[in-house]
Amino acid sequence: MKKNYRHTSFIFLFVLLLIFATTFSIISVDARKHHHNKKSKIHHKHKKQQKNGDGNKAPNCTNSPSPAPSSSHGFYPTQSPIFNILSFGAKGDGATDDTKALEAAWEAACKVQGATLEIPTEFQFLINPITLQGPCMPNFVFQVDGIILAPPKVGSWPKSSLFQWLNVKWMYNFTIQGTGTLDGQGYNWWKLSQIDYFQVMKKSKNTPDMKPTVLRFYGSYNVTIRDIKIINSPQCHLKFDNSKGVKINNVTISAPEISPNTDGIHLQNTQDVEIHHSNIGTGDDCISIQTGCSNIHVHHLNCGPGHGISLGGLGKDKSVACVSDIIVDSVNFASTMYGARIKTWQGGVGSVKNISFSNIQVSNVKVPIMIDQYYCDKHVCKNQTGAVAISNVQFNQIIGTYSTKPIHLACSNSIPCTDVDLIDIQLKPSTNYRGINQLGLCWNSYGKSQAPLLPSSMDYCVRRGSGLVRGISRSHEHVCL
C-alpha cells in the first residue's frame, strides 16, 4: 500500500512539472510575439518620420552624431560619432576651397565626447590658413586618411596668417592620426629664399617677410600625433608652443635637403614629450629644442637629410634660456650636417643641463658631436661676455663615420662647459672625408672620457677638474630655478 502511494505521488509531481513547463513556454512565445509587434510598430513609425512632406526620404545623416545621453547618467556612447568633412560640403577635389567645410566639421565635432573628425582617403582638400580652436570635449580624434593641401601661391596667403597654416589652440586629450598627409606645398616659398630676397621685395608688394609652419599647437595638453605624414612645409613642419604631455609616434616628416629652415619638429616652452619610431628628413634640424623645454625623450628615430638634433640656438640677444632633462637615444643620423648638437649665442643667460645623447649611429655626418657657444647665423656676430651655462652633458656610444671632423666643443671663454662626458666614441672618416684635422676643435670643456675612444686623441678633448669651475657655471643657472 505504501509503495503504491509513493508511486502515485511521483506521477502527480511529474504531471505538475509538465503543466508548468508547457505554460511557461506559451507565455514566452506570447512575450516574444508582443515584443516583435511592438518593435515593428516602432520601426514603421520611424520610417514615416524619415519622410519629408513631398514623400522623399530625408538626407543621409549617418555621419551626424547621435544625441548625447543625459549627463546625469554618467556615461557616454560606446561608439565614437563620426563627422566626415564631406558631409559638411567639402568637395575634396584639390582645387575647391574646403576651408568652410573643415571649420563647420570641427565646430560640430568639438561639442561631442569622443568625436572623430574624418578626412577620408582618396580625396584632396585645399584648406586656407585656419585656426582649430578648443577647448573641445575630451578624446577628440582628427582622423586624417586623405590629403590636406596648403595654398600653393605665396601671394594668396593673408598677411595675418603667415605664422602657421593649421593652428591648433587650447586642446586637451586630442589625437591626430591616420594614413594621410598634410602637404604644405612650400616649393614657391623656398624659391624666395634661394634668390635675392630684397630684390623680390622691391618688385612685389605681396611677398611676405616670414614663412608659415604647417601644423602648430599652442597651449595644448595630452596631445598624440601618430602615423601621419607632414611634408614640404614652407618653414617648420610641426611646432609645439606652451604645451605639455605630447606623444609623437610613427610619423614621417619630409622636405628636400635644399629647403631652407624647414625644421621637422620644433619644441618651445613645452614639457613631457616623447618622440619615437619616426622618420624625419628636411633642410634643417630634424628636431629643434628651444628654451623652456624639459623632460624630452627622443628615441628610435631616423634623421636625414638635415642638420641633426639640436638644442638651440639659445640665448639670442642676451635672452634667458632654460633647457633640462633631455634624453636622445637609439637614433640614426644619415648624411646630416650635424648629429648631436647644442648651440648657444654669446651673451645669453640661463642653463642647459642634464642632457644625454646615447646609442647613436652616424653615417657620413659632417660633425657628429657639437657644442657651439659661439653660434652665429650671420657672416659676423659681435663678441660678448657671458653665456648660457652648459653642464652635465653625456655623449655615450656614438659610432659611425664623419665627413668633416668627429667633434667640435667650443665652450665660452667666460663660462666653461662642465661635466661633459665622452664615453665609447668610435668615429672614423667616411669615404667623403675632406678634412685635415681628425681631432676637431675642443675648447674650455671640462669632464671625463672613457675608452674606447676613436680617434684616440679625443681623450684630451675634455679637461679634468670640473669641480674647480663648476661654481662659475652654477652662478649663471639661478635664473632657471
* 363-400 burial code (b ≥16 CB/10 A, e <16): bbbbbbbbbbbbbeeeeeeeeeeebbbbbbbbbbebbb
Q: Which strands form 238-241's sheet, in the order they lie side by side?
A: 130-133, 164-169, 213-218, 238-241, 265-268, 287-289, 309-314, 338-344, 367-372, 407-410, 441-443
Separation between Cα atoms, residue 479 and residue 229, nearest integer Å: 39
User: What cell was used for 65?
Assistant: 552624431
* CATH-assigned architecture of domain 79-195+210-272: 3 Solenoid (2.160)
Contact partners, residue 51, CB within 8 Å, separation at least 6: 57, 58
Q: What is the four-CA torsion angle of 449, 454, 455, 456, rounded to 10 degrees?
A: 50
- Taking only the tens of pLDDT, the chain with its 481 residues reads 444 444 444 444 444 444 444 443 433 333 333 333 433 333 333 333 333 434 333 333 333 333 333 333 333 344 569 999 999 999 999 999 999 999 999 999 999 999 999 999 999 999 999 999 999 999 999 999 999 999 999 988 888 788 999 999 999 999 999 999 999 999 999 988 765 444 544 455 555 668 999 999 999 999 999 999 999 999 999 999 999 999 999 999 999 999 999 999 999 999 999 999 999 999 999 999 999 999 999 999 999 999 999 999 999 999 999 999 999 999 999 999 999 999 999 999 999 999 999 999 999 999 999 999 999 988 888 888 889 999 999 999 999 999 999 999 999 999 999 999 999 999 999 998 877 667 789 999 999 999 999 999 888 899 987 666 666 666 666 788 7
How high is the pLDDT of residue 44?
38
**Which residue's entry shows cell 622636405?**
255
Nearest CA among 290, 260, 295, 172 for reference residue 224: 172
Q: Which residues contact 33 (CB under 8 A, 6 or more apart)?
A: none
Report helix, strand or coil for 241: strand
Please tell me the predicted confidence (pLDDT) of residue 412. 94
Give the β-pairing of 181-183 and 130-133. unpaired
pLDDT computed for residue 439 by the predictor: 74
pLDDT for 199 equals 52
Its pTM stands at 0.81
Give 285-480's CATH code, choosing from 2.40.10.120, 3.40.50.1000, 2.160.20.10, 3.20.190.10.
2.160.20.10
Which grid coordinates are listed for 350? 640661463
Output phi, psi for 152, to 5 deg: -80, -25
Largest CA distance in the chain: 126
Domain ranges of the chain: 79-195+210-272, 285-480
Neighbours of 60 (CB within 10 A): 8
Just list the catalytic residues.
284, 307
* Residues 6 or more apart whose Cβ sits within 8 Å of residue 362: 332, 333, 336, 339, 368, 398, 399, 400, 401, 402, 427
Taking a C-beta distance cutoff of 8 angstroms, is the pair 473, 415 a contact? yes
**Contact (Cβ atoms closer than 8 angstroms) between residue 180 and residue 131:** no
CA separation for the pair 378, 388 (Å, rounded): 20
Do 79-195+210-272 and 285-480 have matching folds?
A: yes
* Cα angle, residue 361 at apex, residues 426 and 371 outer, rounded to 5°: 75
Q: Please say whether the beta carbons of 357 and 386 come within 8 A.
A: no
Judge whether 290 and 314 are in contact, CB under 8 Å: yes
Residue 406 and residue 378 in contact, taking contact as beta carbons nearer than 8 Å: no
| pLDDT given for residue 377 in this prediction | 86
Contact 192, 177 (CB under 8 A): no
275, 387, 427, 449 from 226: Cα distances, Å: 10, 37, 33, 38
Task: Report the pLDDT value the prediction gives residue 432, as an integer from 0 to 100.
Answer: 87
Beta bridge partners of 268: 241
Q: CA-CA distance, 365 to 401, in Å (whole number)? A: 7
Q: How far apart are CA 55 and CA 75, in angstroms?
A: 37
